[in-house]
Structure 1
Amino acid sequence: MFASGHRHQPWVWQVSALCFILGLLVAGSLQTVTTIRRSGMSSGRVGFGVAPSPHLTMTLRQREREISDLREKQTTLETVLAEGSGKLETLNTELQKVKLLSGLTEVHGPGIMLMLQDGKPRSNRAFEAERLTIHDYDLQLVANELTASGAEAISINGQRLTSRTPIRCVGPTIMVNNIPVVPPFEILAIGDPGTLAGGLNLPAGYLDELRSIDPSMFRLEKRKDVLVSAFAGSTEVRWAKPVAASAPSKGRSGDR
């Protein structure tokens, strides 16, 4: 039925072929990014890694920009393809919604900007320096609080957070999406500005703790419009497979 409806529209197959080619280009770029990441990481234990060199970091960010451009072009072609059929248009609308929820689309809207930076030690005591340093778990706490407050999109220093985003330390370096980030940390979140700010300012919450340590360690702003970049990392899924709607669940306790 699909083929007969577009038998006299060769452009459909041409655009489909272009989408396929762009997909291959994205896959190739992602492979390059993965190779660069692995070459810039130490094989030692976590906590004793060596931070990637500036050259590798610059090359990695360039490849991420290329991936973002390719995905944008692919989205445009998908939209053009959908304009040829009502059913395809519906499918494309759902596809773009899934891409938005997955963090693959650049988005904007009202929200907040939170800037975090290390405090200034008043003495040489190690304990004080530890408290005045922004760690990976600080970023995790903020991301969790924003998500619980209804944030629809979050980024840290331009790195879009997704369901698979790791936030961790490798030696002295904080990694987000396996990309090194350095202070100051600019956290952008889209959602209701009042609700997001309220979640961060809960009594005895995270910002309350920073105020008691050093108020200069953060700056929080409500904004009418926030731009959150798209996720530029790999979306490859190797092990997880979708479960058919009619298939019985095999993940219950006691199943072997």
Structure 2
Amino acid sequence: MTIPATPDRKSSTPDPDGTAAGKRTYGPDFLTALFQNPLDPGYADAAARRAAGHGRTGARKRATRGFASVTLAAIGFLLVIGYQQTVADEPSRTQARDSLAKQVESRREQTEQLQARADVLADQVDKLREQELGSAAMAGIDNLEAATGLAAVHGSGAKIRLADGPTSVDAVTGVRGTEGRVKDTDLQLAANALWAAGAEAIAINGQRLTATSTIRQAGEAILVDTRPVTTPYEVIALGPADLAADFRNGYAGKFFESLAQTYGMSFESAKVRDVTLDAAPELKLRSASPSTPPPAPSGASSVSGSGAPSGSVPSVSGSEGGR
């Protein structure tokens, strides 16, 4: 902003004969004066005094040099002390770091040994269970484990692939848009649509879904059972031969196609064969309650009391919400 010029009062002073001394003139504005005289007047005066031989001399000059020397010596002394302290503390830090590294390595070896021991004990438990229960009961248990996600399964089905689209940036605010990104609700929709279409087992980026699985958004990351998954997201489901076509022609498939056309999100649906889905981690169950007891057979005496009959089957609730 240019500061308006003010008239020069001297230029309008009348001459002794009473007439004005020529035309009215104006002084330069602030920016013009700044560029015409960039050096502060104080610096110019100091330079002029030194040039004229009026600088500091005698005792004042010696005092100034002495004070500067003392200040530099003090700064150097403090730097030397700090360097010596740093060098003295380095061995202790190195020892602490080496000690922590050794502890981490030792704990890792212990963990590997315990995991190997747990695998051996699990094999022994399986053999003992098969010996005690028999092949027929074990087959039923294997089917239940496969249905609940606690055992690996193999078969054919569908693969749904979702990937983030290009990120838009607002030209004014610089805020990045999230319309083209895959969200947790999209993966929830895909999983529920596959269950509804007849899927028997589902995994998202290798994470097997169970009755207590959760798909949640945590900031910019998506967690499947507290484990992060990243784009591209592959949802593999085992089920009927037409599972991929039913998904693509259903509500979820049409919804993802509209997202792909509008925001550039990547969406693919295809058949898969000979796919193996790994088992889910062991479920962490926190509570259990008995189910409604079956009706007593005719002629049997009724049982009163708060406890359930010994033949009732408990229903188990997981520590996390269902899908």
User: Which TM-score band applies after superposition, normalised by the shorter structure?
Assistant: 0.5 to 0.7
Asked if 1:238 corresponds to 2:286, the answer is: yes
Which runs of no fewer than 5 residues in structure 2 stay unpaired? 1-110, 295-307, 313-323
Which runs of no fewer than 5 residues in structure 1 stay unpaired? 1-62, 250-256
Q: Whole-Å Cα distance in 2 between the matches of residues 207 and 72 of structure 1?
A: 46
Name the SS of the counterpart of 2:222 in structure 1: strand
Name the SS of the counterpart of 1:164 in structure 2: coil
Aligned-pair CA distance for 1:164: 0.4
TM-score, structure 1 normalization? 0.60
Aligned-pair CA distance for 1:214: 4.6
Structure 1 partner of 2:157: 111
Amino acid at match of 1:153: A
- Mark the CA change 1:150 to 1:132 in structure 2 (over 3 Å): closer, same or farther: same
Name the SS of the counterpart of 1:143 in structure 2: helix
Aligned-pair CA distance for 1:203: 5.8
Which structure is richer in relative contact order (CA contacts within 8 A, separation 6 or more)? Answer: 1
Asked if 1:198 corresponds to 2:262, the answer is: no
Structure 2 partner of 1:132: 180
Structure 2 partner of 1:221: 270
Name the SS of the counterpart of 1:112 in structure 2: strand
- Mark the CA change 1:129 to 1:172 in structure 2 (over 3 Å): closer, same or farther: same
TM-score, structure 2 normalization? 0.49
Structure 2 partner of 1:15: none
Structure 1 partner of 2:226: 178
Amino acid at match of 1:131: E
| RMSD, matched Cα | 3.3
Aligned-pair CA distance for 1:209: 2.1
CA contact (8 A) 1:142 1:200 kept: no
1:60-209 equivalent positions in 2, closer than 5 A: 74=122, 77-79=125-127, 81-82=129-130, 84=131, 88-121=134-167, 123-124=169-170, 129-202=177-250, 205-209=254-258
Name the SS of the counterpart of 1:241 in structure 2: strand
For residues 190-220 of structure 1, the C-alpha deviation after alignment (integer angstroms, 9 at most, x for no partner) is 0124233322332683333233225651222
Amino acid at match of 2:138: N
Q: Whole-Å Cα distance in 1 between the matches of residues 219 and 127 of structure 2?
A: 44
- Mark the CA change 1:241 to 1:67 in structure 2 (over 3 Å): closer, same or farther: farther
For residues 112-158 of structure 1, the C-alpha deviation after alignment (integer angstroms, 9 at most, x for no partner) is 11221100135537998322010000000000000000111101111
Name the SS of the counterpart of 2:290 in structure 1: coil
Aligned-pair CA distance for 1:68: 11
- Mark the CA change 1:137 to 1:171 in structure 2 (over 3 Å): closer, same or farther: same
Aligned-pair CA distance for 1:73: 7.2
- Mark the CA change 1:243 to 1:198 in structure 2 (over 3 Å): closer, same or farther: closer
Q: Whole-Å Cα distance in 1 between the matches of residues 164 and 256 of structure 2?
A: 14
Name the SS of the counterpart of 2:135 in structure 1: helix
Aligned-pair CA distance for 1:168: 0.5
Q: Whole-Å Cα distance in 2 between the matches of residues 209 and 111 of structure 1?
A: 24
Q: Whole-Å Cα distance in 1 between the matches of residues 270 and 164 of structure 2?
A: 18
CA contact (8 A) 1:151 1:191 kept: yes
- Mark the CA change 1:76 to 1:213 in structure 2 (over 3 Å): closer, same or farther: farther
Aligned-pair CA distance for 1:79: 4.9
1:22-37 equivalent positions in 2, closer than 5 A: none
Q: Whole-Å Cα distance in 2 between the matches of residues 203 and 99 of structure 1?
A: 31
Q: Whole-Å Cα distance in 2 between the matches of residues 224 and 146 of structure 1?
A: 16
